Amino acid sequence: MCGIVGYVGTKKASPILINGLKRLEYRGYDSAGISTIEKDGISLMKDMGRVKNLENISGINDLEGTIGIAHTRWATHGKPSKENSHPHMDNSKKFSVVHNGIIENYESLREDLKSKGYTFYSDTDTENIPNLIHYYYTKYENEKGIERFLKSVRSACLDLKGSFAIEVICSDFPDNMIVVRKDSPLVIGKAEGENYLSSDIPAILSFTRTFYLLDDYEFAILSKDDVKFYDKDLNPVNKEVKSIEWDAVGADKNGYEDYMLKEIYEQATSTRETVGTRFQGPKTAFEELDFTKEYLSSLTRIYIVACGTAMHAGLAGKTVIEKLSKIPTEVDVASEFRYRDPLVDEKTLCIFLTQSGETADTIAALKLSKEKGAKTLAISNVIGSSITREADLSIYTHAGPEIAVASTKAYTSQVVLMNVLAIYMSEVLENNDQKYLDSLKEEILELPEKVEETLKISESLKDFARQVYQEKDVFYLGRGVDHAIATEGCLKLKEISYIHSESYAGGELKHGTIALIEKGITVIGVLTDKNLVKKSISNLQEVITRGAKTLIITNQKDLDTKAFDVVVTIPESNTFISPVLAVIPLQLFAYYVAKEKGLDVDKPRNLAKSVTVE
Ligand code: G6P
């Protein structure tokens, strides 16, 4: 995801900015750029690709400016290109801006600005911001000094819908920078005679260990010796400076002990980024796809093909895709699919789910489907990854880089994106009531808050993990989509705690597994599908009778839960998106168990993040 760096001081800004961008490289990006204030105005240098390309731009070493902004871009609106990379300037070249986040109302803002005579050179949502600031700057021409700049930034921000962390410089104020954030991280590092900015502490940790953390809609004016803070109404705010004790390695994890924990806690943001602006209009926006009613109506089958966690996301996605499109949908393990001569032809749509976009079996399965005449759609988290270059169509989860081997936020983003895709397909097919589809959209838009709530509730599982961590076997049960969720939870435990675990469809219990249940065995039940809850409870009763210890994850508020040892009640949701919420306690449970065992959760033995060989 995008990264931001900024500097105001007495040293040359450009090497500091470039160093900061390098420290943010792990976040993943496709282009980079910087703007500094020089004697003759604002300089702008940017390029596609690595920070190295930016460093090689001729003249970059001649920049003398001691104030500047910098950015690494992870494309959301508009493909990776030099034009779309940040910083972006207004038409008059007075303002330069970098931005993280998504401006949801960018289309209407752009139209409005166009009607006022502004022109645009990029496809980004960000380019609106410098022009909006300029627009207000001309309106506030009677204001004196930095007030005029601050008021203009504020008015522009109040027009923005969505998430943003913004740095702005203005050629009229060569000693200042204004910054603001909403739902996107931004920290200010305070040092002697200089101030730094970054979206992540690691980028500037080598310069300072004292930071100001900005709250939503807080504005800051930075100069080399000072930082002034203002609230949304521009009342001055006194801000406490925080000292950070992290070492460089710990800070890379943004204060979390492990990348996995960080990524689990990022799921409110990542699922929000996955939806982005797709639900902004009356119909779901998927300009990357060329599906017509005729094409979708001609389909006899959809295959979802993937490996590991992505395959489990496919199991969860199957429900919503099949129910809304009314097209038979099957989920296949890529390594099986590629060798079983599947029934695929031009009437088949093949969807390939892969976080990395580099998994060898998934790529091979895609090539096979193409040869057999199917249309292929890749769903990946990495822009420009191998699978997206092979597929007929590609869409991205925009979950941000996932570093821990055990996948967490990529899974939830894949489930969310398949929900969005299913709604889009149904709208193209015109086969469901639009009011019903709109209500599903509403629920998806409410997900980030529910994710936050679920994260808090799930922390209670630490105690249960202490009871379980020395066990040899753990069983997971569920029916329907709850079985898919249980299967992903079971994989998480296996991957990072090395405890043998199995996931069963509740009804299968009697056909063998129940022979393994004895006193003290842990059984985890997932109960979110209200039509199946009673059936699953009967299965859980069968294991309780045989002495099992039970944990249930449920969103059913009026359930009689007396019989269970531990109950985690998560927020209510429809069954299409319940995997996003119900998997969170299971992820955290696996994490806590592995930590109790003292294991390296980020790099479990024998496993790789990206499996590029068969
Ligand atoms: C490896 C990883 C898993 C991942 C699977 C598929 O096994 O350890 O976390 O789910 O590959 O990866 P993909 O990048 O295709 O989603």
Taking CA atoms only, the protein residue closest to ligand 1 atom 2 is: 609
What Cα–Cα distance (Å) separates residue 525 from each residue in 13, 17, 30, 568, 583? 56, 50, 42, 10, 12
> What's at 158, amino acid-wise?
L
Per-residue pLDDT at 450: 97
pLDDT of residue 69: 97
What strands lie across the sheet with 522-527, from one edge to the other? Answer: 500-505, 473-478, 522-527, 549-554, 566-569
Candidate of 383, 394, 411, 611 to mutate for ligand 1, largest count of ligand atoms within 8 Å of Cβ: 611
Q: Is 611 in the pocket of ligand 1 (CB under 6 A)?
A: yes
Q: Is the CB of 309 under 6 A from ligand 1?
A: yes
What are the CA-CA distances from residue 4 to residues 29, 141, 198, 345 (Å)? 11, 30, 5, 46
Range with the poorest average pLDDT among 101-105, 224-228, 384-388, 405-409: 384-388
Q: Is the pLDDT of residue 551 over 70?
A: yes
Is any ligand 1 atom within 6 A of the Cβ of residue 609? yes
pLDDT given for residue 30 in this prediction: 83
Q: Is the dihedral of CA 391, 410, 314, 417 positive or negative?
A: negative
| 394: nearest Cα among 322, 320, 287, 318 | 287
Q: Which of 10-24, 214-228, 240-254, 489-503 has the lowest mean pLDDT?
A: 240-254
Q: Tell me the mean pLDDT in the region 489-493.
A: 98
Q: Could you tell me if 149 and 125 are in contact, meaning their C-beta atoms sit under 8 angstroms apart?
A: no
Q: 544 Cβ partners below 8 Å, 6+ apart?
A: 550, 563, 564
Q: Whose CA is nearest to atom 8 of ligand 1?
A: 609
Atom of ligand 1 nearest to the CA of 405: 8
Tell me the pLDDT tens digit for each residue of 526-547: 999 999 999 999 999 999 999 9
Mind listing the pLDDT tens digit for each residue in 380-403?
987 767 788 789 999 999 888 788
Instruction: Judge residue 439's burial from the number of C-beta atoms within 10 Å of its C-beta, 0-12 exposed, 13-18 middle, 19 or more buried.
Output: exposed
The closest of 374, 591, 609 to 469, measured between CA atoms, is: 591
pLDDT tens digits, one per residue of 322-375: 999 999 999 999 999 999 999 999 999 999 999 988 888 999 999 999 999 999
User: Annotated active-site positions, please?
Assistant: 2, 609
The yes-or-no verdict on residue 27 having pLDDT over 80 is no
Tell whether ligand 1 has an atom less than 6 A from the beta carbon of residue 356: yes
Residue 434: count of CB within 10 angstroms of its CB? 12
In the predicted model, what is the mean pLDDT of the chain? 92
CB of 366 within 6 A of ligand 1: the answer is no
pLDDT band at 26 (very low <50, low <70, confident <90, very high): low
pLDDT reported for residue 194: 96
* pLDDT confidence bin for 250, thresholds 50/70/90: very low
Say what the pLDDT of residue 612 is: 57
Distance 593 CA to ligand 1 centre (A): 21
Q: What contacts 508, CB < 8 A, 6 or more positions away?
A: none
SS3 of 271, please? helix
128, 109 Cβ separation under 8 angstroms: yes
In angstroms, what is the span from residue 471 Cα to ligand 1's centroid?
26
| Confidence (pLDDT) at 381 | 87
Under 8 Å between Cβ of 102 and 77: yes
Phi, psi angles (nearest 5°) of residue 541: -60, -40
pLDDT reported for residue 202: 63
**Residue 407 CA, ligand 1 centroid: distance in Å:** 7
Angle subtended at Cα 147 by Cα 146 and Cα 148, rounded to the nearest 5 degrees: 90
Residue type at 43 in one-letter notation? S
b/e per residue 254-292 (b: at least 16 CB within 10 A): bebebbbbbbbbbbbbbbbbbbbbbbbeeebebeebebe
Backbone angles phi, psi at 349, to 5 degrees: -105, 125
Q: What's the 611 CA to ligand 1 centre distance in angstroms?
A: 7
Amino acid at 556: Q
pLDDT at 290: 85
Q: Give the C-alpha separation, 491 to 407, whole Å.
A: 10
pLDDT on residue 251: 46
User: Does 563 score more than 70 pLDDT?
Assistant: yes
Kindly report the backbone phi and psi dihedral angles of residue 378, in degrees, each rounded to the nearest multiple of 5, phi listed first.
-95, 135
Cα-to-centroid distance, 365 and ligand 1 (Å): 15
The pLDDT of residue 245 is above 60? no
How far apart are the C-alpha atoms of 508 and 46, rounded to whole Å? 58
Q: Please report, for residues 221, 412, 565, 600, the alpha-carbon distance to residue 302 in angstroms, rounded to integers and kept in the order given.
A: 54, 21, 41, 38
Instruction: Give the separation between CA 141 and CA 28, rounded to whole angstroms.
Output: 40
Q: Looking at residue 220, what DSSP letter applies?
A: E
Q: Strands 177-182, 164-170: parallel, antiparallel or unpaired by DSSP?
A: antiparallel
Is the C-beta atom of 202 inside 6 A of ligand 1?
Answer: no
Q: Residues with Cβ < 8 Å from 58, sequence gap 6 or more?
A: none
Q: Which domains occur in the chain, in start order?
A: 3-244 (3.60.20.10), 251-445 (3.40.50.10490), 458-596 (3.40.50.10490)
- The upper half-sphere exposure of residue 603, i.e. CA atoms within 13 Å in the direction of its Cβ, equals 0
Kindly state if the Cβ of 394 falls inside 6 Å of ligand 1.
Answer: no
Q: Which residue has the tokens 């809850």?
A: 533
Q: Is the CB of 100 under 6 A from ligand 1?
A: no
The rounded distance, in Å, linking the Cα atoms of 419 and 414 is 9
Judging by DSSP bridges, how do beta strands 522-527 and 473-478 pair with one another?
A: parallel
Flag whether pLDDT at 89 surpasses 80: yes
Distance 419 CA to ligand 1 centre (A): 21
* Beta bridge partners of residue 554, listed in sequence order: 527, 569
Query: Is the predicted pLDDT of residue 462 greater than 60, yes or no?
Result: yes
Token pair for residue 513? 């597994």
Judge contact between 571 and 454, C-beta under 8 A: yes
Other beta carbons less than 10 A from residue 29's beta carbon: 24
Per-residue model confidence as pLDDT tens digits over 347-357: 999 999 999 88
Q: Which residues are 504's β-sheet partners?
A: 477
